[in-house]
Structure 1
Amino acid sequence: MNAPKANIEHWSERVDMAAAFRWTERLNMHEGVANHFSLAINEEGTRFLMNPNQMHFARIRASDLIVVDANDPETLQGPNAPDPTAWGLHGGIHRHCPHARCAMHVHSIHATVLACLKDKRLPPIDQNRATFFNRVVIDEHYGGLAFEEEGERCASLLTDPKQKVMIMGNHGVMVIGDTVADTFNRLFYFERSAETYIRALQTGRELDVLSDEIAEKTAQELEEYPEQDIRHLAELKAILDDEGSTYAT
């Protein structure tokens, strides 16, 4: 199933990306034929793989992914070229944030609810929430669709390599990471964290927030937890393989 295809470069990365798209749809974290994931394939990070324009996450295969060059506007004229908002947001991030090897942007329900609150902070009320303590940047200045100027503005907020999640106010969430596995794992747990927080707020009862000291300690411990991201994605791919999915074709 995962054997490299002739004349298709970066095959293993493509397979990982396709699996991430399929599971994002399965978890109902997709937005129909909108939203995008990207993965840098050169040292500078300016050439990257991305989903083709207007293809549903549930159908994306490894061979469908297109190559985008953030420094070449002619990319927008190619087959299945990314829409202007994908070019603006992901191109801006890959041009200005070389540490963002992978970027995943979604309008998942609970992260977007959080992005719509006046207070968009995610307090460390349990272990998962502590993962993101001091590791989230909040964009309070939504400026409309992420065309090039808006994408550049968003990219300027992700310059601190420690902050790998951006709550995009009135919009959604952007998660960055070193690999597909690293980034998808972070995206998954951020959405779960936002869901738990929203549900806790719905009780109307007082929140029990961890101390800054314990929250930071927990965040550091989880950052050093061995291979959770790799094993997480490997298990998801194994499930897809068992089901006979076409993601790795």
Structure 2
Amino acid sequence: MAVHSLHAADEHEWQLRVDLAAAFRLAVHFDWHESVGNHFSAAVSEDGKTFLLNPRWQHFSAIRASDLLLLHAEDKETMERENAPDPSAWCIHGSVHAAVPHARVLLHCHPPYATALCGLKDPSLKPIDQNTARFFNRCAIDLDFGGMADEAEEGRRIARAFGNHSIMMMGNHGVSVAGETVAKAFEDLYFLERAAKTMVLAYSTGQPLNVMDDTLAEKTAAAWDDYAGAADAHFEQLKQMLDRTDPTYRD
């Protein structure tokens, strides 16, 4: 590899590290974290098999860009090393990055409202406002929870369940969001949890939901495409917020 290409690759990986570290810190800010569990990752190589992942049992609030592990999905010795990642993280993220090309970034967590929906017989988001309609016909729903995802087959099953979708409601579990960039995946996770909060609050009234018909729901969902650039703007401004309070995520 030429020197200038190597330098460009290094810069690309470092920017991924900074953005992913910011996503961890922001998950704390929005109260989506859970003890020292849950995992975010980002593919470095074109085939997705080399990827960044958070270290085992490190709280999201303390994760820095330099802390992220650089792993290869086909490295069979990964879990034997002293700094091995969390087993469930390795199973889910290694499998998804290796098998789902559009999952350049994968955010998996258990945010309270989305996870509450995932505990229902029907965890789907009904189009009752513009945020819930954003996800109309755009979410995979996985109702085949197989327990803690610490076995290779469960990781492969989760990867298959994604299909062509970028967002998955994981029954009895939580949510996973894939995206081309950290900013895009984070934006979907942000609106997914807001939409789930609206659903849970609407359900809590006990009154009938005012669900849009399919035509209006699809029209509303498609209209969100015009706002795709907002993801980058939102994420940059959130990073600026972090820079004012605790910029150590960049270290």
Please report the TM-score for the alignment, with normalisation by the length of structure 2: 0.93
Secondary structure at 1:224 match in 2: helix
Structure number with higher helix proportion = 2
> 1-side partners of 2:69 and 2:12: how far apart?
11
CA apart distance, 1:78: 3.6
CA offset digits 1:211-243 (Å, max 9, x no partner)? 211111121121231411101110111011112
Q: Percent identity?
A: 48
Count of residue pairs brought into register by the alignment:
242
2:153 to 138, 149, 167: 149
CA apart distance, 1:101: 0.5
1:115 to 103, 113, 118: 118
Q: Does 1:24 align with 2:2?
A: no
Please report the TM-score for the alignment, with normalisation by the length of structure 1: 0.93
CA apart distance, 1:165: 1.0
> Do the aligned partners of 1:8 and 1:63 also contact (CA within 8 Å) in 2?
no
Secondary structure at 1:137 match in 2: strand
CA RMSD between the two structures: 1.5
> 2-side partners of 1:208 and 1:156: how far apart?
33
CA apart distance, 1:91: 0.8
| Segment of structure 1 superposing worse, 76-85 or 95-104 | 76-85
> 2-side partners of 1:73 and 1:9: how far apart?
26
| Segment of structure 1 superposing worse, 214-223 or 16-25 | 214-223
Q: Paired residue for 1:185?
A: 187
> 1-side partners of 2:199 and 2:85: how far apart?
34
Name the aligned partner's letter for residue 10 of structure 1: E
Q: Paired residue for 1:171?
A: 173
Moved over 4 A (4+): none
- Unaligned runs of 5+ residues in structure 2 are 1-6
1:53 to 52, 56, 61: 56
> Do the aligned partners of 2:140 and 2:163 also contact (CA within 8 Å) in 1?
no
> Do the aligned partners of 1:128 and 1:193 also contact (CA within 8 Å) in 2?
yes
Q: Does 1:10 align with 2:1?
A: no
CA offset digits 1:39-85 (Å, max 9, x no partner)? 00111011101111110000001111111111112122345321211
> 1-side partners of 2:226 and 2:65: how far apart?
30
Q: Does 1:241 align with 2:246?
A: no
- Unaligned runs of 5+ residues in structure 1 are none
Name the aligned partner's letter for residue 176 of structure 2: M
Name the aligned partner's letter for residue 235 of structure 1: Q
Secondary structure at 1:210 match in 2: coil
> 2-side partners of 1:88 and 1:244: how far apart?
32
